[in-house]
């Protein structure tokens, strides 16, 4: 059981343009919900525009997602959620309906010309659909164009690396877009339909090792985004792509003795990343837009964080990481839940980009972030119930800047007001507080037995202030 310290740790996160929820968000609408309930709410909102209470309800499907990498990542998460609900004896048929319709709809002709590696991401779910459909499915054959592109479309980024003639751009995003598809296809069909005669799993590992050789930072186990950013930043979502991609490849090869050494190599990379991630969380237990440079990139970011929680929880569930990593995953998961509105919308996702940003994305949502969230939820649901019950939670209260009492550039609020918003707020805490606004780290906040004092907010700041604390 988690040890108790003699004081509560309270953290303040002041965010300009913050998620505009009314008054109190301390518990959040999904605080007491199990992971699969939250995941279904988020999936329902994205796929059907509403939260659907009954697992058995199967509304008429109207596909509104495409085969781009954003939506394909979402479909990967929906497939994982369907698998998990089936494992627990509660399959949600509307998800299979939607995935099947997505795999069959024809907005522009499919197989579409594969002109970029990002479009290969859809192949992950096409192989999944092939396995669902059984013998005679057309879905595996429909990924032949992806194989042709990978083998015969050399990217400018590939030149000089010595890795055959494959398409290799050398962005860490590619680790999620291409190798998992290759590995899944290899597991399903070996070298069937691959002109060079190699098993798809073999090509996936050639990719995995090539990208590590070029982009991996051996001192941290993390990845630079591309060769032009080596030494510049270690982007949260970019490393999420890499970690999730490696985990998916491992899943496809782990049970085949012929790939035992490759599986072990992948685990070594993932464990190294997990150790660095454990030591570089922000005060609320997730990760910012840049994993290690939290002084500049101060905003919690949920797409990279969800991928990390997915990977860490899976490795802990497999016994590869020690049980203490369950606490890492659970604390992060609690914050992810706080970022889901009562209508099932996931917020705090950095928009499309190629690196970390300091801009405000508190109210932003993206389909790839939702896909990562669904993957995280499925793995959190596999953590033993007793461990989940004693996980490391964070609670949150939101106040407005106008409700603070100002003295120069210092502001404060009485603990009695906080307890009125949240009856469970500690009555006489000894505070360890950090106050942050986008792009700027502010001085440490102090407190006494009667009020929380915030030093360094912009004078007259009337935006939202989020107070995070461990109950």
Residue 385 located in a structural domain: no
Instruction: Give me the residue label for tokens 């479909």.
Output: 75
Domain finish residue from 380, 415, 437: 380
pLDDT at residue 419, as a whole number: 82
Domains in the chain, number = 2
Do residue 445 and residue 459 come from a single domain?
Answer: yes
Name the token pair of 228. 């032009």
Residue 402 located in a structural domain: yes
Do residue 21 and residue 43 come from a single domain?
Answer: no
Strands 405-407 and 410-414: antiparallel
Residue 223 located in a structural domain: yes
Do residue 343 and residue 464 come from a single domain?
Answer: no
* Full residue range of the structural domain in which residue 408 is found: 1-34+392-471
pLDDT at residue 133, as a whole number: 84
pTM: 0.82
Do residue 247 and residue 321 come from a single domain?
Answer: yes
Residue 386 located in a structural domain: no
| DSSP 8-state secondary structure symbol assigned to residue 98 | H
Do residue 369 and residue 441 come from a single domain?
Answer: no
Do residue 428 and residue 353 come from a single domain?
Answer: no
**pLDDT mean values, one per 10 residues, the chain (471 residues):** 36 41 50 94 97 90 92 98 96 96 66 80 95 80 90 66 77 97 96 93 96 97 97 98 98 96 98 97 94 93 98 93 90 94 96 94 96 98 78 62 78 84 66 46 60 73 65 56
Do residue 145 and residue 269 come from a single domain?
Answer: yes
pLDDT at residue 375, as a whole number: 98
| DSSP 8-state secondary structure symbol assigned to residue 2 | P
Do residue 301 and residue 432 come from a single domain?
Answer: no
- Before 111, cis peptide (omega within 30)? yes
For residues 112 and 126, the answer to whether their CB atoms sit within 8 Å is no
Do residue 254 and residue 315 come from a single domain?
Answer: yes
Query: Using CA atoms, how far apart are residues 402 and 465, in angstroms rounded to an integer?
Result: 10
Do residue 270 and residue 235 come from a single domain?
Answer: yes
Residue 263 located in a structural domain: yes
Specify the CATH number for the domain of residue 257: 1.50.10.10
Distances in Å between the alpha carbon of 353 and those of 16, 70, 237, 295?
A: 21, 12, 10, 20
Name the token pair of 226. 């591309």
Q: Which residues pair with 399 in a beta bridge?
A: 465
Do residue 302 and residue 324 come from a single domain?
Answer: yes
Do residue 292 and residue 434 come from a single domain?
Answer: no
Distances in Å between the alpha carbon of 358 and those of 15, 126, 227, 463?
A: 11, 36, 22, 17
pLDDT at residue 108, as a whole number: 41
Classify 248 in phi/psi space as left (phi over 0), alpha (psi -120 to 50) or beta. alpha
What lies within 8 Å, CB to CB, of 224 at 6+ separation is 172, 215, 216, 217, 230, 231, 232, 233, 234
| DSSP 8-state secondary structure symbol assigned to residue 354 | S
Domain finish residue from 380, 400, 430: 380
Domain finish residue from 335, 355, 380: 380
Residue 349 located in a structural domain: yes
Query: Using CA atoms, how far apart are residues 434 and 411, in angstroms rounded to an integer?
Result: 14
pLDDT at residue 16, as a whole number: 35
What lies within 8 Å, CB to CB, of 447 at 6+ separation is 10, 429, 430, 431, 433, 453
Residue 92 located in a structural domain: yes
């Amino acid at each position: 059981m988690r040890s108790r310290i003699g004081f509560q740790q309270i953290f303040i996160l002041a965010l300009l343009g913050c998620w505009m929820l009314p008054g109190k968000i301390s518990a959040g609408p999904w605080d007491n919900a199990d992971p699969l309930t939250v995941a279904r709410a988020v999936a329902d909102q994205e796929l059907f525009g509403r939260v659907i209470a009954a697992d058995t309800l199967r509304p008429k499907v109207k596909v509104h997602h495409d085969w781009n990498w954003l939506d394909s990542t979402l479909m990967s998460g929906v497939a994982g959620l369907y698998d998990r609900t089936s494992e627990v004896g509660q399959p949600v048929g509307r998800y299979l309906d939607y995935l099947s319709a997505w795999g069959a709809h024809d907005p522009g002709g499919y197989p579409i010309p594969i002109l970029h590696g990002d479009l290969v991401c859809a192949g992950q779910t096409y192989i999944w659909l092939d396995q669902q459909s059984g013998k005679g499915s057309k879905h595996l054959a429909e990924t032949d164009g992806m194989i042709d592109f990978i083998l015969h479309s050399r990217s400018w980024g590939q030149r000089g690396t010595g890795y055959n003639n494959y398409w290799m751009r050398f962005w860490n995003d590619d680790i999620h877009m291409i190798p998992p598809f290759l590995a899944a296809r290899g597991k399903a069909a070996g070298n069937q339909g691959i002109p060079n005669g190699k098993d798809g799993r073999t090509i996936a590992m050639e990719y995995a090792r090539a990208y590590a050789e070029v982009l991996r930072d051996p001192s941290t186990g993390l990845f630079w985004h591309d060769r032009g950013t080596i030494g510049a930043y270690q982007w949260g979502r970019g490393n999420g792509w890499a970690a999730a991609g490696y985990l998916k490849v491992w899943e496809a090869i782990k049970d085949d003795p012929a790939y035992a050494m490759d599986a072990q190599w992948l685990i070594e990379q993932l464990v190294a990343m997990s150790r660095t991630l454990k030591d570089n969380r922000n005060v609320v237990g997730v990760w910012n837009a840049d994993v290690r440079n939290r002084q500049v990139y101060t905003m919690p970011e949920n797409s990279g964080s969800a991928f990390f929680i997915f990977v860490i929880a899976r490795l802990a569930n497999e016994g590869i990481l020690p049980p203490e990593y369950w606490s890492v995953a659970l604390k992060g998961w609690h914050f992810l839940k706080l970022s889901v509105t009562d209508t099932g919308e996931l917020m705090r996702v950095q928009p499309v980009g190629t690196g970390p940003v300091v801009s405000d994305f508190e109210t932003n949502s993206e389909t790839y972030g939702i896909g990562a969230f669904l993957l995280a939820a499925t793995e959190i649901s596999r953590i033993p119930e007793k461990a989940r019950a004693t996980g490391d939670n964070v609670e949150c209260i939101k106040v407005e800047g106008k409700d603070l009492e100002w003295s120069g550039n210092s502001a404060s609020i009485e603990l009695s007001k906080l307890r009125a918003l949240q009856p469970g707020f500690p009555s006489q805490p000894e505070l360890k507080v950090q106050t942050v606004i986008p792009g700027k780290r502010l001085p440490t906040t102090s407190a006494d037995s009667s009020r929380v004092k915030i030093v360094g907010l912009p004078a007259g700041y009337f935006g939202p202030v989020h107070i995070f604390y461990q109950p």
